[in-house]
Amino acid sequence: MQYFILFVFTFAQLFALDSNALRQKALNRGMSSIPTDFTDLISQVDDANNPMTVAKIKLGKKLFFDKNLSLDRSISCATCHELKKGGEDSKPTAIGYKNQKNPSHLNTPTVLNTAFSKHLFWDGRANSLREQAKGPMQAHFEMASTPELVEQRVQENPQYRKKFTETFGDNSITFDNITKTIAVYEKTLVTRGRFDEFLDGDNDALSSQEERGLNLFIDMGCKGCHFGPAVGGQKIQKFPLRDFNSILNLTTTFNEETKGRKVKNISLAFKMYRLYPFENRGGFLGKNGERKFRVPILRNISKTGPYFHNGVIKTLREAIKIMSKHQIGVDLEKDQLDALEAFLKSLDGNIVEYEFKEFK
């Protein structure tokens, strides 16, 4: 069956779609470009429970970069979400307060294009940016603060007191309002690149190899999970879908890793088993321990390595091979791998500089 699939893909490449047909194919399958106009962005990502305003955006930007919100005044949101590094920190595992590593060896997801995410965190436990923003501030291994301390630090700043009163009214410096402004600012951190130009009608935006990669991306089923403006962030999906270990391998691996020792904690013993096609560093098992993960955003993916939840895989090329084999059951030929890698690199882009002055 696998060889038949590869044959179909190769045969289809001989009769590749022209650019116009490929564009329509992508649009019909849930892919879309990032808005160039701020009004259009608002229409797609605004939250009735936290409406976007220029005042909130400007206030949220200051708070996003403010290290005073952390316990020892050394870490801001921007410390881990570096906008010049693809919206994350390029480290295998996130480092926080007093150089503590994330206890599950989780790396930092990008903040870029999360405006379009329906699920946040690796296990998808948050459904909005305003909810997500509350987590890192309070986590003892990240910013190690508390809602009360964050409010106190903001109260200390006369400019903040003035801006919060103007934006929300009197007595408005609350943890909830603070995270609302950060969330609104983060919604403006969206990127556009050549892929957007292609979707918007420029037939010269992508190379022929990148177009072949896009066609493969659609036909192989990658777009079934990675769709929408951010090319991801819309679903929670099991990984891997195709388990690469048999029951025999489970027993063998378990025996090798325990080396005959008695393991009293069955949950810990289970985590020791390699559930992924790479080292199970950190033992994280996703949502409800069922290996279900928020589908990552693929925009700027070439800049957001190392890859997967625990940052074990260093190269984009290896990540593509793993996803192809263990999610859709295909061992890629070299030319297919080249094309897919080229397409994914075309998703790189720059943060859109929106004009805010006409909005209130």
Active site residues: 142
Residue 110, CA distances (Å) to 134, 326, 333 in order? 16, 23, 30
Structure tokens at 79: 């410390």
Contacts 24+ apart (CB under 8 A), 317-326: 317/341, 320/344, 322/277, 322/278, 323/222, 324/220, 325/242, 325/244, 325/277, 326/239, 326/240, 326/241, 326/242, 326/244, 326/277
Element (H, E) at 236: strand 236-238
Cβ partners under 8 Å of residue 174, min gap 6: 151
CA dihedral 329, 333, 336, 340 (to 10 degrees): 60
- Across 155-179, b (16+ Cβ under 10 Å) vs e yields eebeebeebbeebbeeeebebebbb
Give alpha helix (H) positions in 273-353. 316-327, 334-345
End-to-end CA distance of the chain: 58
**Phi, psi dihedrals of residue 191, rounded to the nearest 5°:** -125, 150
CA-wise closest residue to 212 among 316, 332, 296, 348: 332
**DSSP conformation class of 85:** G
